[in-house]
């Protein structure tokens, strides 16, 4: 066990445990709050792997923006405070989902470990300077395309929010 191993195990265990709570808790708001813990721990994993810029972007964008959006959506759709059972799935469906999820996790981990082996590898995250040179050199066109994508998403979200939708009868096209 190296220091990297220990640090990564701690961050990864926190991330996986809080992700598990995020998908299993009955409190809707707690689910979004556990997602924050999981994503912060994941950005700790990025730090251990030497990708400090990605870790900071993860903190800023995910924890700062995405989870806040999710919390807004929960409140705007009148999520109940406290435990709620009105959206419970049948036990059969949850058991089937558990089997599928566990099988996918086992399959992915097995395939990835057999592809990369379990040797000790040197962690080389590079410097932020090198990353910036690559981002605005080799990858500059995809980067510019992304800014266009963000603009399109902004306008699309605005248009969706302003759609004139009534309840049921008046909006058959939108409900269909």
Partner 1 sequence: MIHSALPMIVVGLLFGIGLYGVLARRNAVLVLIGVELMLAAAGLLFVTVGSLTSDAMRAGQVMTIFVITIAAAEIAVALGVILAVFRARGNIDMAQAGERE
CB 53 → partner 1: shortest distance, Å?
A: 7
**In whole angstroms, how close is the CB of 24 to partner 1 at the nearest point?**
8
Residue 132 has, within 13 A of its CA and on its CB side, a CA count of 5
Name which position in 37, 40, 42, 141 contacts partner 1 (CB under 8 A): 42
Q: How far is the CB of 88 from partner 1 (least distance, A)?
A: 7
List binders of partner 1 among 115-174 (CB under 8 A). Answer: 116-126, 130-131, 134-135, 138-139, 142-143, 146, 149-150, 152-154, 156-161, 163, 165-168, 171, 174
What is the closest distance, in whole angstroms, from the C-beta atom of residue 48 to partner 1 in the complex? Answer: 8
Choosing from 12, 37, 40, 83, the residue that interacts with partner 1 (CB under 8 A) is 12
Burial 97-117 (b: 16+ CB within 10 A, else e): eeeeeeeeeeeeeeeeeeeee
Q: How is residue 5 written in tokens?
A: 């191993």
Q: Which helix (H) or strand (E) holds 14?
A: helix 3-24
Sole binder of partner 1 in the list 81, 82, 87, 141 (CB under 8 A): 87
| Contact yes or no for 32/70 (Cβ under 8 A) | yes
Facing residues of 27 across strands?
83
Residue 84 contacts residue 61 (beta carbons within 8 Å): no
**40, 44, 69, 81: residue in contact with partner 1 (rule CB under 8 A):** 69
Among 76, 81, 83, 144, binds partner 1 (CB under 8 A): 76
């Amino acid at each position: 066990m190296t220091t990297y191993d220990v640090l990564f195990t701690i961050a990864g265990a926190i991330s996986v445990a809080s992700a598990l709570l995020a998908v299993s808790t009955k409190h809707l708001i707690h689910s979004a709050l556990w997602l924050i813990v999981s994503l912060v721990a994941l950005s700790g994993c990025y730090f251990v792997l030497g990708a400090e810029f990605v870790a900071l972007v993860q903190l800023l964008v995910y924890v700062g923006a995405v989870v806040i959006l999710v919390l807004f959506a929960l409140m705007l759709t009148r999520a109940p405070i406290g435990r709620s059972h009105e959206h419970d799935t049948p036990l059969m469906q949850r058991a089937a989902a558990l089997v599928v999820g566990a099988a996918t996790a086992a399959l992915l981990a097995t395939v990835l470990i057999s592809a990369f082996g379990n040797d000790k590898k040197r962690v080389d995250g590079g410097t932020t300077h090198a990353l910036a040179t690559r981002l605005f050199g080799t990858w500059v066109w995809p980067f510019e395309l992304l800014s266009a994508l963000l603009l399109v998403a902004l306008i699309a979200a605005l248009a969706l929010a302003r759609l004139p939708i009534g309840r049921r009868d008046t909006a058959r096209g939108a409900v269909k």
